[in-house]
Amino acid sequence: AQKITQTQPGMFVQEKEAVTLDCTYDTSDPSYGLFWYKQPSSGEMIFLIYQGSYDQQNATEGRYSLNFQKARKSANLVISASQLGDSAMYFCAMRLLGDDKIIFGKGTRLHILP
């Protein structure tokens, strides 16, 4: 069975600092995709970044980058130059290719301090 583990329930970070949100995953399937989503208090799940299991390079999207370490089954999200608007819940998630079901971690609540 697939599993996503996020070990940081909450984090406090000073504005403009970089922040790393941890994520490890477990699957025996070689074909999968990894996602990070941001969920503000409004509830909407906002897509941030995606990494396919066969992608050779780490994914980047603006201030977001995904530190993908396949051998360690790790997919950490790095947010550079954090902003007050980054305060939200962040979810790491996985999907097997060939399946539309997404498995989510428990999330990390990020607080950006002014």
Give the interface with another protein as residue ranges (CB under 8 A): 33, 35, 37, 42-47, 50, 52, 91, 95, 97-107
CB contact at 8 A, 63 and 70: no
In the chain, the amino acid numbered 107 is: G
Considering the complex, what minimum distance in angstroms separates the CB of residue 71 from another protein?
22
Considering the complex, what minimum distance in angstroms separates the CB of residue 50 from another protein?
3
Q: How far apart are CA 83 and CA 52, in angstroms?
A: 27
15 vs 99 by CB, closer to another protein = 99
